[in-house]
């Protein structure tokens, strides 16, 4: 059986389930309590679970992310909500220098079972300081897992395995997806092990993640109407990357376009491309193409912002370029 | 550039009665001597190329760790910095495990992955060995939060230097811990310098207790060269923890260079010499002798035992093995 669910409600249900089923789980972050969550993901939680487990924090990203790490070391299972990836830069030290390193640096003595959630991405005309897509930075760091739920099912299902993971997991929720609706199975169990093919095809593999997934699917529809049968791969797990699924899709389609809202230079798209070169070079009928954000601070004005970001039309054009 | 001299009025050397039974007094002294002997050997081994990387010696500051840590209970948590050999040792880690770690051997506490700056010990609840200045404070705040939420009667002692006080992590953590009334003991080892920067060149307000009090937490100042003051002040602070965090400043001094790469251009030799008159080991030894709690023979014997412990640790580290390179990636994630 399936049911219709929105992305926000899916996130809310996932957190609710975690809080209700495990007393070690608590939620901490800016305005998660009285305000009900910046994006209303935790509306009503304060009344239901109380201020000990739904903790409004001061504007201290470094301290409350670090406190989440300490609380995880101390036996709890914190969900730390950082309002957006843009502000996570103030907490980067704790994530990179503590959470990611502690297990290895301590010779296996201390694991950090922490989940950090944050909104990411552009597309809402909130200008340069609120529009970053830095998933690729985080995916660079050994010691953390990086997830990008791009469907309602993943929004509903990824939190539970993330909390069950004994190591730090960072979840990026693209703000452009929050109004997404979808059918989810009643038992919404998903893995956080690898990528998924969201649309089967044979002519070109479009590989993407997060907020770009709906754009890639829209591009695939357009291409289908023109007789190009595109496959769409949703990476889902940005670290560790699922090389096998990427390579299988590319080997089948023999052409690939990578769509990434991060900037092109040093991007996650570059990493995917490198893996294709390493593992599927001789399967290719054309050079691999990329659709990334333009290398510019994301502007406010709608037409400029749209021009700066990956769009279905750009993806269609990139695919056609491979057949030219 | 002329050398900067820290503008502090030097108190007279620690003196006066030692209010403890003989056995405990000698334990305090022994721990200071063990740290001193261990680190003198470390400096030597560094010169010999046996220990590499960064090595930060605690020599001169021993009374802080050796005085503060006995005031804690075994179930308490400890978070320390990269200058933490003394803390690890007094907390109960074996000298063998410390030395082997500095050698980079598999028998080290972190199997050679951490080295001098990253001593960890789950058995004694030592959560590092953190080499990011201020990095331990948010972590300690979270450990205390976990203790509070799980109704565990546990204090988290967090050691950091005067330099860390300028970091945002200090201010964010003190605020959060005070706001949530968490059982954190903020232990500031004020040795008057952060690398080459004297405290008055880094802080608009050099009264560090005043900073802590501004976050509405009690703040105590101890003479970090006097183990009696360090122990008593820490004990008093631990007793106050029930109502929330407490800040303790230990006024101390580092005799050696910041690390092994430091020409010490920022202070005068005379200043170091002056502070040596307040040395934690010789002043405490003299007090114990004056009270008849220690004889010269007993001192020599405990010193010899410490030296023997160090020699055994070196032999242990020398005989240690290297972690197989095949295990390089082990423990990036929990299996
Ligand atoms: C965030 C950060 N900045 C700079 C450094 C380099 N550094 C290492 S120790 C140190 C001085 C710290 O002084 P203090 O906190 O007083 O501790 P002390 O070394 O005196 O014990 C500096 C600047 C660092 N490790 N971390
Ligand atoms: Mg200092």
Strand A169-174 relative to strand A181-185, pairing: unpaired
B128·A94 Cβ contact <8 A: no
pLDDT band per the 50, 70, 90 thresholds, residue B3: very low
Q: Tokens for A35? A: 């305000």
Domains of chain B: 22-319 (3.40.50.970)
Residue range B59-79: average pLDDT? 98
Q: Tokens for B159? A: 């050691």
Instruction: State yes or no: pLDDT of B2 exceeds 50.
Output: no
Continuous H helices in B245-279? 269-276
pLDDT band per the 50, 70, 90 thresholds, residue B1: very low
Every domain of chain A and the residues it spans: 2-185, 196-321
Phi, psi at B158, each rounded to 5°: -120, 115
What local confidence, expressed as pLDDT, does residue B243 receive?
83
Summarize pLDDT for A183-239 with one digit per residue, the tens: 999 999 999 999 999 999 999 999 999 999 999 999 999 999 999 999 999 999 999
A49, A55, A66, A99: best to mutate for the B interface, most B CBs within 10 A: A66
Helix axis angle, A61-73 relative to B136-149, nearest 10°?
50
Is the bond preceding residue B35 a cis peptide, omega within 30 degrees? no
Using the structure block, give the residue that is written with the tokens 């057949």: A323
Judge if A2-185 and A196-321 fold alike in CATH terms: yes
Three-state secondary structure call for residue A19: helix
Instruction: State yes or no: pLDDT of A253 exceeds 50.
Output: yes
Residue by residue, DSSP assigns B179-233 as HTT--EEEEEEE-SEETTEEGGGT-S---HHHHHHTTT--EEEEETT-HHHHHHH
- Average pLDDT of chain B is 96
Indicate the CATH number for domain A2-185. 3.40.50.970
Q: Tokens for A211? A: 């907020």
Summarize pLDDT for A25-43 with one digit per residue, the tens: 999 999 999 999 999 999 9
Distance CA B56, CA B191 (A): 13
Report the residue from B139, B176, B332 with minimal CB separation from A58: B176
Summarize pLDDT for A167-198 with one digit per residue, the tens: 999 999 999 999 999 999 999 999 999 999 99
Q: Which of A61, A135, A153, A261 is catalytic?
A: A61
Share of chain B above pLDDT 70, in %: 98
Active site annotation includes A174: no
Instruction: State yes or no: pLDDT of B4 exceeds 80.
Output: no
Measured between alpha carbons, how far apart are the two ends of chain B, in Å?
54
What local confidence, expressed as pLDDT, does residue A218 receive?
98
Active site annotation includes A61: yes
Size of interface A-B (CB pairs under 8 A): 148
Using the structure block, give the residue that is written with the tokens 């705040």: B141
What local confidence, expressed as pLDDT, does residue B8 receive?
57
Residue range B28-57: average pLDDT? 98
- Residues with Cβ–ion distance below 5 A, ligand 2: B 161-163, 191, 194
Task: Tell which residue, A236, A225, A231, A113, has the closest CA to residue A177.
Answer: A236
Distance CA B98, CA B90 (A): 12
Domain A196-321 indexed as CATH 3.40.50.720: no
Distances, alpha carbon A103 to alpha carbons A69, A259, B67, B69, in Å: 12, 33, 30, 25
Summarize pLDDT for A40-60 with one digit per residue, the tens: 999 999 999 999 999 999 999
A73, A74, A96: best to mutate for the B interface, most B CBs within 10 A: A74
Using the structure block, give the residue that is written with the tokens 């691999």: A288
* Chain B residue set in contact with A, beta carbons under 8 Å: 77, 108-114, 118, 120-122, 127-130, 132, 135, 137-147, 149-150, 156, 168-169, 172-173, 175-176, 179, 330-334
pLDDT band per the 50, 70, 90 thresholds, residue A80: very high
Residue range B111-138: average pLDDT? 98
Q: How far is A26 from chain B (nearest CA, A)?
A: 10
Distance CA B192, CA B225 (A): 13
Q: What lines the ligand 1 site, CB under 6 Å?
A: B 83, 131-133, 161-164, 189, 191, 193-195, 258
ipTM above 0.90, yes or no: yes
What local confidence, expressed as pLDDT, does residue A32 receive?
97
**Count of C-beta atoms within a 10 Å radius of residue B21:** 10
């Amino acid at each position: 059986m399936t049911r219709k669910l929105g992305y926000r409600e899916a996130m809310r249900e996932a957190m609710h389930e975690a809080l209700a089923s495990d007393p070690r789980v608590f939620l901490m972050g800016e305005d998660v309590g009285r305000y009900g969550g910046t994006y209303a993901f935790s509306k009503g939680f304060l009344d239901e679970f109380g201020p000990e487990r739904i903790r409004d924090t001061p504007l201290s990203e470094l301290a409350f992310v670090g406190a989440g790490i300490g609380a995880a070391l101390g036996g709890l299972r914190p969900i730390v909500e950082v309002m957006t990836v843009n502000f996570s830069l103030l907490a980067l030290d704790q994530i990179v220098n503590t959470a990611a390193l502690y297990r290895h640096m301590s010779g296996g003595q201390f694991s950090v079972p922490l989940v950090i959630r944050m909104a990411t991405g552009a597309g809402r005309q909130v200008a340069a300081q609120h529009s970053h897509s830095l998933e690729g930075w985080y995916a660079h760091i050994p010691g953390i897992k990086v997830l990008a739920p791009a469907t309602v099912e993943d929004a509903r299902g990824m939190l539970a395995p993330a909390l069950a993971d004994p190591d730090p997991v960072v979840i990026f929720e693209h703000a452009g997806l929050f109004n997404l609706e979808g059918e989810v199975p009643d038992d919404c169990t998903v893995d956080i092990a690898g990528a998924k093919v969201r649309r089967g095809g044979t002519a070109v593999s479009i590989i993407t993640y997060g907020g770009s997934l709906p754009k890639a699917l829209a591009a695939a529809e357009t291409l289908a109407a023109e007789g190009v049968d595109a496959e769409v791969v949703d990476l889902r797990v940005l670290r560790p990357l699922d090389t096998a699924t990427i390579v299988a899709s590319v080997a089948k389609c023999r052409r690939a376009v990578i769509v990434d809202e991060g900037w092109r230079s040093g991007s996650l798209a570059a990493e995917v491309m490198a893996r294709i070169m390493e593992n599927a070079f001789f399967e290719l009928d054309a050079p691999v193409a990329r659709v990334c954000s333009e290398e510019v601070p994301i502007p406010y004005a709608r037409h400029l912002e749209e021009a700066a970001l990956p769009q279905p039309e750009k993806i269609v054009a990139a695919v056609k370029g491979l057949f030219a | 550039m002329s050398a900067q001299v820290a503008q502090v009025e030097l108190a007279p050397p620690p003196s006066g009665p030692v209010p403890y039974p003989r056995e405990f007094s000698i334990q305090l002294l022994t721990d200071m001597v063990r740290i001193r002997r261990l680190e003198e050997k470390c400096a030597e081994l560094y010169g010999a190329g046996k220990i590499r990387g960064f090595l930060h010696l605690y020599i001169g500051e021993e009374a802080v760790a050796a005085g503060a840590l006995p005031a804690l209970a075994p179930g308490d948590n400890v978070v320390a910095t990269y200058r933490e050999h003394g803390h690890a040792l007094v907390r109960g880690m074996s000298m063998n495990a410390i030395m082997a770690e500095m050698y980079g051997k598999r028998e080290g506490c972190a199997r050679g992955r951490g080295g001098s700056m990253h001593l960890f010990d789950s058995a004694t609840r030592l959560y590092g060995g953190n080499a990011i200045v201020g990095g331990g404070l948010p972590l300690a705040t979270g450990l205390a939060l976990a203790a509070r939420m799980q109704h565990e009667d546990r204090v988290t002692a967090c050691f950091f230097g005067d330099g860390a006080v300028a970091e945002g992590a200090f201010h964010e953590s003190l605020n959060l811990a005070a706001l949530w009334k968490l059982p954190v003991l903020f232990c500031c080892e004020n040795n008057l310098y952060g690398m080459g920067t004297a405290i008055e060149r880094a802080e608009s307000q050099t009264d560090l207790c005043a900073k802590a009090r501004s976050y509405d937490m009690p703040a105590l100042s101890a003479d970090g060269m006097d183990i009696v003051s360090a122990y008593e002040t820490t004990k008093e602070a631990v007793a106050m923890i029930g109502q929330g965090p407490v800040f303790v400043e230990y006024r101390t001094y580092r005799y050696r260079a910041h690390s092994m790469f430091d020409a010490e251009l920022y202070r005068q030799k005379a200043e170091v010499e002056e502070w040596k008159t307040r040395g934690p080991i010789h002043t405490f030894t003299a007090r114990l002798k004056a009270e008849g709690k220690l004889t010269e023979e007993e001192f020599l014997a405990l010193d010899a035992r410490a030296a023997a412990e160090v020699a055994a640790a070196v032999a242990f580290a020398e005989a240690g093995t290297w972690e197989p390179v095949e295990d390089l990636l082990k423990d990036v994630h929990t299996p």
